Structure 1
Amino acid sequence: MTKTTTRDKLIQAMADALQRKGLHGVGLNELLKTAGAPKGSLYHHFPGGKSELAVAAIEHIGRRIDEFVARLFAQQPDPLQALHSWLQGALQQLQSSQFERGCPLATVALESGPEDLEIRAALEHCFATLRQALARQLHRHGHAREQADNLAALFVALYEGGLLQARVAGSTEPLRRAADALFNLARQQPPGGDAA
């Protein structure tokens, strides 16, 4: 069993903070306390400060996406049911956290500005990784490549937008309604094989 380093603990603390509070909603002292890390350790491991730590946390989330999506689709033979299970898990987490825990990527994306080049690049890569992982699984389950790419893009947009609206409303209804509409449409257009 590998030992969790101070650097790892800081990354995990930041990933958690991004999901709950966003980049600007968490202070350095809170991060250090959550990580159980001594003062000075943040700048020792991340000389660029909180922004560099945020990039590391986003990259950490991105590395776990393929594994998460593969596990999700392995548990459900029906790809639409796999996506439904993901949404159900997100909604349960949202409700149990009193609508505090959203998507860490969306929270940071909304806060970032044009000057946040490294953060935006990490977010762009992470969102692309998520869409690609979903599209791979959908294609593996019978969807044509373009259909799989489009459905993955639509699902990620629905998930992010619906989760954001649910957090603001303090209700799961916005995401539930959007998901119901998507799944009804997807069932009307069954998977199709590639022409090539």
Structure 2
Amino acid sequence: MPNDTRERMVAGAARMISRRGVDAMSLRELAEKEGVPLGSTYHFFPGGKGALVDEAVNYVGDRVTASIASTRGQGTEHIVRWVLHAWRRILIRSDFQAGCPVLAAAVAKDERHRSTARAVFDRWTVGLVEVLVDDGVPADRAPTVARTIIASLEGAVGLARAFGEIGPLDDVESELIRLVAAAADPVAAAGPPRLGR
């Protein structure tokens, strides 16, 4: 079915971007890999590679956004653990070759793709802010904590790829959980008052 072909191409483009980045993605290779005529690429994406890249990045962005929304009520810790569990599987299955397509778009040469990535990061931030506020994090602090979570997760994936090991994800998981707990209850996180010097 045409829609299946189109969706397969978008998902395939996202996978290719995750491994090679935006600028090295090849429409010809994608068509061969997905078993579709090269002409189909231009049929479904008249804007060519640029249009397909943006759709692939938004495809990944929308899936994560929907996952954040679907876990509301379960808390930030649940989302952090869920995301890192998913990344552990992706990294191991890809032999530490796959990264985040959204981050790849954020460092692409074309400003168009960087703009698409910023919009996705903004959507993720908004979704996380809602969860954080539900968790008791003050509304004025929640955006900063949300951006710290996103930056930490993206950085952990990059370090895991660089070192070929899962350790950075484990480190970030425990620290982010502590961060959220402290942001929600700074008094408890500070511990009992110290007497004297």
Same fold (TM over 0.5): yes
From 87, 91, 106, the counterpart of 2:88? 91
TM-score, scaled relative to structure 1: 0.82
- 2:129 corresponds to which residue? 135
The question of 1:176 aligning with 2:175 is answered no
Structure-1 separation of matches of 2:163 and 2:71: 28
- 2:51 corresponds to which residue? 52
From 92, 106, 109, the counterpart of 1:109? 106
State the Cα distance separating 1:3 from its structure 2 match: 6.6
Instruction: Specify the code of the residue in structure 1 equivalent to 2:143.
Output: D
Structure-2 separation of matches of 1:138 and 1:24: 35
Alpha-carbon deviations, 1:86-110, whole Å to 9, x = none? 2122123212221122211112323
- 1:81 corresponds to which residue? 78
Instruction: Specify the code of the residue in structure 1 equivalent to 2:93.
Output: S
State the Cα distance separating 1:191 from its structure 2 match: 4.7
Aligned length: 186
Report if aligned partners of 1:144, 1:191 keep a CA contact under 8 Å in 2.
no
Report if aligned partners of 2:137, 2:180 keep a CA contact under 8 Å in 1.
no
Alpha-carbon deviations, 1:126-164, whole Å to 9, x = none? 111111111112212322212221211100000111111
Distance 1:189 1:64, change over 3 A: closer
Alpha-carbon deviations, 1:37-93, whole Å to 9, x = none? 21211122223321221011112223333311123345xx34223312321221232
From 150, 154, 178, the counterpart of 1:156? 150
Structure-2 separation of matches of 1:51 and 1:101: 21
Structure-1 separation of matches of 2:78 and 2:59: 27
For residue 3 of structure 2, give the secondary structure of its aligned residue in structure 1: coil
Gap regions ≥5 residues in structure 1: none
Instruction: Specify the code of the residue in structure 1 equivalent to 2:56.
Output: A
For residue 42 of structure 2, give the secondary structure of its aligned residue in structure 1: helix
For residue 151 of structure 1, give the secondary structure of its aligned residue in structure 2: helix
- Select between 177-186 and 153-162 the one with higher mean Cα deviation: 177-186
Identity over aligned residues, as a percent? 27
For residue 4 of structure 1, give the secondary structure of its aligned residue in structure 2: helix
Larger Rg: 2
- 1:19 corresponds to which residue? 18
State the Cα distance separating 1:171 from its structure 2 match: 1.3
Gap regions ≥5 residues in structure 2: 187-197
Indicate the RMSD between aligned Cα atoms, in angstroms.
2.3
TM-score, scaled relative to structure 2: 0.82
Distance 1:20 1:72, change over 3 A: farther
Q: How does 1:120-131 map to 2 (within 5 A)?
A: 120-131=114-125
